[in-house]
């Protein structure tokens, strides 16, 4: 295969469907994920294929929650954490293995304009790997962590 410029994520050449390696794809299957294919004629070969792997696919699933207390345990494999406030009240967040409160917090995520409107405060951190606790009146938020 031709690899112009030696870029490890870019492969271009005349390829057929069976030439795409499953190991090149995030999912490990032959379902193209993160791949662009260009074909200018009607033969069986693709004219150009570009594979762009995802940064990481280890994201925890999360649905909106109203729980207060421990949100995440300490995790040295964490690459990123994300919290968005979906409540019409403030959400207090503390980076510690202790309860968050109006007297004990590192961040206050602003209230949403209406419940689940998606305009509430957001916390995104690509470095912190310790405990995270949350608290608030009528809490509702979405949270996930991306791991190795």
Q: 41-51, pLDDT tens digit by residue?
A: 555 555 555 55
Question: Tens of pLDDT along 86-110?
Answer: 999 999 999 999 999 999 999 999 9
Max Cα separation, the chain?
A: 68
By CB neighbour count within 10 A (0-12 exposed, 13-18 middle, 19+ buried), where does 143 fall?
buried
Over residues 73-86, mean pLDDT? 94
Please report, for the chain, the start and end positions of each structural domain, with discontinuous segments joined by +: 4-51, 58-147
Q: Which of 45, 34, 42, 39 is nearest to 1 (CA)?
A: 45
Does the pLDDT value for residue 76 go beyond 70?
Answer: yes
Q: Residue 145: count other Cβ atoms within 10 Å of its Cβ.
A: 22
By CB neighbour count within 10 A (0-12 exposed, 13-18 middle, 19+ buried), where does 141 fall?
buried
Three-class SS state of 22: helix
Of 1-5, 22-26, 65-69, 130-134, the range with the highest mean pLDDT is: 130-134
pLDDT band at 5 (very low <50, low <70, confident <90, very high): very low
Lowest mean pLDDT among 15-19, 48-52, 62-66: 15-19
Three-class SS state of 24: helix
List the CATH code of the domain at 58-147. Answer: 2.60.120
Residues in the chain: 148
Over residues 62-89, mean pLDDT? 91
Q: Residue 52: count other Cβ atoms within 10 Å of its Cβ.
A: 11
Tell me, what's the pLDDT at 55?
A: 53
Task: Please tell me the pTM assigned to this model.
Answer: 0.62
Whole-angstrom distance, CA of residue 53 vs CA of residue 49 = 13
What's the token pair of residue 111?
């209230």
Lowest mean pLDDT among 18-32, 36-50, 97-111, 117-131: 18-32
């Amino acid at each position: 295969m031709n690899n112009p410029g030696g870029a490890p994520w870019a492969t271009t050449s005349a390829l057929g469907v069976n030439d795409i390696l499953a190991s090149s794809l995030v999912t490990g299957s032959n379902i193209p994920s993160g791949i662009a294919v260009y074909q200018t004629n009607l033969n069986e070969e693709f004219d150009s294929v570009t594979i762009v792997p995802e940064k990481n696919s280890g994201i925890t699933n999360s649905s909106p929650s109203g729980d207060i207390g421990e949100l995440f345990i300490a995790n040295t494999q964490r690459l990123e954490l994300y919290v968005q406030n979906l409540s019409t009240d403030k959400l207090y967040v503390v980076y510690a293995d202790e309860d968050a409160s109006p007297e004990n917090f590192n961040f206050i995520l602003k209230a949403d304009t209406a419940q689940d409107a998606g305009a509430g405060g957001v916390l995104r951190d690509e470095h912190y790997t310790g405990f995270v606790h949350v608290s608030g009146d009528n809490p509702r938020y979405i949270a996930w962590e991306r791991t190795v």
